[in-house]
Chain A
Amino acid sequence: MSGAREDILGRVERILGTRPTSAAEAYAAIERPYRRRHHDDGILELFAERVADYRATVRRVTEAGLPDAVADALTGSRHGVPPGLPAAWLAATPPSRLVHDPAVADLDGLDGVVTGCAVAIAETGTIVLDHGPAQGVRALGLVPDRHLVVVAAGQVAADVPEALERLDPARPLTFVSGPSATSDIELNRVEGVHGPRVLHVLLVVDG
């Protein structure tokens, strides 16, 4: 199909002709008059509020209170846990309720999963997973019906531009804003079409 490639690129080149500046120079000259942040203070409150707007559950906990909060939040008997999740988070959860590093084929039988995240965005109430050790493969947070995410206060960015700066595009990324939802039937919002029906967030704040 190299013929198609040469044809398409050749057409584009003929149409556009010689340009006065290089792509890099022209790109650098693009003006961006928008804000890099919409909020200065109250970022954590805003994040909690905006996540709740999606009908997800948010609880603020201290680091010391986290293990109990995790144990409380888990409903059901089998929860998937990625290999790199800090052991301390699970200190109050009976090991019999946990399935460590489950195979993708077994995910459909789980009640829920517990993961960390990479970044969160206050303005939009978004949590971003980069599928590092505390988050597991992409399928883990997708197939089971309940997703419990632990977000550290320091991971919360005020706005979209700041969050993207903190992320590595070479990694697969999943941006999660509330539970799975559809509005395809007369624009009525229904949660849990294919992804998790319940999103539960524990926001770890100290002091």
Chain B
Amino acid sequence: MPTYLGMPPFPKAARDAVADRRLRANLAHATGTIRDRRLAAVAELDDWAALREAGRRIKDHTLEHLDHYLRLLEERVTEAGGVVHWARDADEANRIVVDLVKATGQTEVVKVKSMATQEIGLNEALAADGVTAHETDLAELIVQLGDDRPSHILVPAIHRNRAEIRDLFRRRMPGAPPDLSDEPAELAEAARRHLRAKFLSARVAVSGVNFAVAETGTLVVLESEGNGRMCLTLPETLISVMGIEKVLPAWRDLEVFLQLLPRSSTAERMNPYTSTWTGVTPGDGPGDFHLVLLDNGRTATLADEVGRQALRCIRCSACLNVCPVYARAGGHAYGSPYPGPIGAILSPQIRGIGSPVDASLPYASSLCGACFEACPVAIDLPEVLVHLRARAVENGPRHPLVDTAMAAAGWTLRSPGRLALAQRVASSSRRLVGRRGRIRRLPGPLRAWTDTRDAPVPPPESFRAWWRRTDGGRRP
């Protein structure tokens, strides 16, 4: 996955975002709203903990037998009339998709929102070969028209308010009424009119995949607007790109994930539309179906026994909405299509800790544990963060982490419970780091502080007193 061009490391990007009052207001409103709704949706099911546990087990089992399920999926998709392609990395995946599109003779494709195609930079690769990709999800369209980057998994334009969207549509959307107001319904109507012609004329669509059932060769896409259904059924050629970790063993497993995902994600009992398809159906939908199976760092992630659990992620975005660091820093600070806690553990793993931004990401957390509690597949995000910090210290470039690490520490230290948790997690990190004979470090986010200062490290017990006295290190 390419790092966004010129992307500064998390601390710098986060500092800029924190200074942007409007961005912070938009984010605080949005994440707070989804968070509260989600709690209510989850509370409705008295067996939520059991569903979550089953989700975790099914995903772990699938990863444990990933080779078996990928072969089975390939066999079943092929039997049903689809064509399966394999891609080791982003370039290979882009090449496959570009060639497939060019073989149709088309120069435009419609796209369903997909993290995987953002990860590989598919739109840019298509453009380089003269193919225009039209994002059809409303939020993705807002991002695309603004030459912007998505800042949230589920609501990519969460950082934009209605007035900004109106101005953008007036300036950049062909055919948008000049007197367009900033009423959400009017804005949505403008997008509907703008995209309908594209849906009805498009011959090629590109989609992502939420789940792929190995046993039956069935692909599954969840969405809200109907743009997904349009793309999946109206064109003649459909190309779906999925990370290899999206496979599920059997049809019945959907009974778990169709309960976990919508409630965690949009806080609905069910999202408005879910489409499933198995190969091609004569007389209904695309006659030509291609599935691209993407590695791009996933096998490297699988190889790390602690970090592997990141591959359980079903991209619900619940961890973003509960994350105090995300709410302040915003999605762009994470320098990849995967923001928030999941981005902080996924990006350094699938890209490798080679760049300053990736080395800084494991520090983009206060280790408060809220993400772990929210995660519907029980990924222990704090555990992986601490684990990756040790790896970043061993392998990564040096980086200035002080400011953000201290800002995060400030949040941690306002609550004794959070500090206790940070210390609990940190004790395991000291063990990890100590194994390689490195110096002992301060707990949690404060460790970065000791990374860049030759000051004597105060013992953790007295740190809160020190923090109060110095106003979080701002006074000597």
Contacts and interface: CB of A to CB of B under 8 A. Distances in A.
Contacts of A121: 270
Nearest to A104: B234
A1 B64 contact: no
A124 interface: yes
B439 interface: no
Contacts of A108: 196, 200
A182 interface: yes
B11 to A, nearest CB: 29
A179 interface: yes
B29 interface: yes
A18 to B, nearest CB: 12
Given A142-B229, A186-B184, A188-B184, A161 B270 contact: no
Contacts of A4: 86-88, 92, 295
B226 A180 contact: yes
Interface string B237-276: 0000000100001111011101100100010111111111
B255 A26 contact: no
Contact of B192 (A54, A175, A193): A193
B302 A172 contact: no
Given A5-B86, A32-B54, A171-B281, A177 B138 contact: no
Given A186-B162, A194-B230, A177 B270 contact: yes
Interface residues of B, number: 94
B22 interface: no
Given A1-B85, A34-B47, A193-B226, A169 B272 contact: no
Interface in A153-179: 160-161, 164-165, 169-179
Interface in B268-317: 268-278, 281, 283-285, 293, 295, 299, 302-303
A12 to B, nearest CB: 4
Interface in A191-207: 192-196
Interface in B86-143: 86-88, 92, 96, 136-139, 142
Interface stretch (A66-74, A87-95, A131-139): A131-139
Interface in A1-38: 1, 4-5, 7-9, 11-13, 15-16, 19, 23, 26-27, 30-35, 38
Interface of B: 26, 29-30, 33-34, 45-47, 50-51, 53-54, 57-58, 61, 64-71, 80, 85-88, 92, 96, 136-139, 142, 155, 157, 161-162, 165, 184-185, 187-188, 191-192, 195-196, 199-200, 213, 216, 218, 224-227, 229-230, 232-234, 244, 249-252, 254-256, 258-259, 262, 266, 268-278, 281, 283-285, 293, 295, 299, 302-303
Interface of A: 1, 4-5, 7-9, 11-13, 15-16, 19, 23, 26-27, 30-35, 38, 50, 53-54, 104-105, 108, 121, 123-126, 131, 137-139, 142-143, 160-161, 164-165, 169-188, 190, 192-196
9 contacts: A4-B295, A9-B70, A15-B303, A30-B58, A33-B54, A34-B259, A169-B216, A174-B273, A194-B226
